[in-house]
Amino acid sequence: MKRISLTQYLVEQQREHSRIPPPLRLLIEVVARACKHIAISVNKGALGDVLGSADTENVQGEVQKKLDVIANEVLIEANEWGGHLAAMASEEMDSIHIVPNRYPQGEYLLLFDPLDGSSNIDVNVSIGTIFSVLRKVGHHQGISEDDFLQPGKAQAAAGYCVYGPQTTLVLTLGDGVHMFTLDRETGSWVMTANHIQIPHDTKEFAINMSNLRHWARPVRKYIDECLAGKDGPRGKDFNMRWVASMVADVHRILTRGGVFLYPWDQREPAKPGKLRLMYEANPMAFLVEQAGGLATNGQQRIMDIVPTKLHERVGVVLGSRHEVERVNAYHAEGA
Ligand code: P6P
């Protein structure tokens, strides 16, 4: 594979494949540059005033970490002046952020979890930024939260940046999934993998096992069979991973396969799940499907779900096709 820069990839997508119009190319470049700034803050750790709590709460009622707030501000400031966006939405903000009148408004909507996996910040475990791009539909004046309430299949682009041993940007424009690793000597994003494919089978599952007693029967059946190993109905041993950073778990699955589950459970039965549909599940589902995997809530394709609220939650089962199909089948038969 030829090691090209993100800029060259985007120019080629714009020029040769007319896959992306100039404003979308600018959007991706601005988000990628913002992720570099976030990586600098993340990498400072205890050397910078970036660890610990911000002593504020977000719309989810969760205590915000200082880096949550920093990452959110970096993304807002980087994206509001370029003329490519109409508005933004973030896990860290109650309502949408409309591009101020002093700047030109564009036709794209950007949604993001500015720093996913915040519980891992202070213990130096991989965290990441997740983003999703929608188009503003209709030619009405003004912009409201309703403009964001589109199913995931309407996404124009999606990706994440994982701040780990490497700083890696993973992106889809609807033409496969490609990875770009940050070259800190030049400051460039360099393509290090392209047209990634998730193996349809796996021996590795990711779930928070401490919630076992709260799961619905189909999930319990699926995990019990994995744990039964080669002497059980699956006829093979499984390995388990749980980073508690969705970005890190999904990156592993894109890199070597696997299945990730954060299902509905009985702890808060009124909530469909813990993860957020618009800026966690949908962008990850787009990436996983573009890489040949599946992403459902156990019953329905995640990208078909029509959202009713900006911060709504969803159960998530994603990754290697044959494993997700098995979990879906157990839900269909009521396990
Ligand atoms: P738990 C991080 O807070 C997150 O939103 C995802 O990144 C991660 O997969 C999940 O929650 C971890 O949740 O309940 O295991 O801490």
Fold annotation for 6-193: Fructose-1,6-Bisphosphatase; Chain A, domain 1 (3.30.540)
Residue pLDDT, tens place only, 188-206: 999 999 999 999 999 999 9
Q: What's the pLDDT at 13?
A: 92
- Nearest-CA residue for ligand 1 atom 16 is 244
Q: Which of 275, 288, 311 to mutate to test the pocket of ligand 1 (most atoms within 8 A of CB)?
A: 275
CB 109 within 8 A of CB 146: no
Q: Range(s) for CATH 3.30.540.10 in the chain? A: 6-193
> Which residue carries 């009405």 as its tokens?
140
Q: Which architecture, in CATH terms, is 204-333?
A: 3-Layer(aba) Sandwich (3.40)
Instruction: Please give the number of the atom of ligand 1 that sits closest to the Cα of 116.
Output: 7
Sequence-ordered list of residues with C-beta below 8 angstroms from that of 34, at least 6 positions apart, any chain: 74, 75, 78, 79, 129
pLDDT band at 62 (very low <50, low <70, confident <90, very high): confident
Residue pLDDT, tens place only, 65-114: 899 999 999 999 999 999 999 999 999 999 999 999 999 999 999 999 99
Residue 189: other Cβ atoms inside 10 A: 27
Q: What is the largest CA-CA distance in the chain?
A: 66
Strands 108-116 and 85-90 turn out to be: parallel
Is residue 51 scored above 90 in pLDDT?
no
Instruction: Please give the number of the atom of ligand 1 that sits closest to the Cα of 247.
Output: 7
User: What mean pLDDT, rounded, does the chain reach?
Assistant: 95
Is residue 118 scored above 90 in pLDDT?
no
Q: Range(s) for CATH 3.40.190.80 in the chain? A: 204-333
- Measure 165 CA to ligand 1 centroid, in angstroms: 20
Question: Which residues contact ligand 1 via a Cβ below 6 A?
Answer: 116-117, 119, 208, 244-246, 262, 274-275
- Nearest-CA residue for ligand 1 atom 10 is 244
Contacts 24+ apart (CB under 8 A), 13-16: 13/173, 13/175
Sequence-ordered list of residues with C-beta below 8 angstroms from that of 44, at least 6 positions apart, any chain: 50
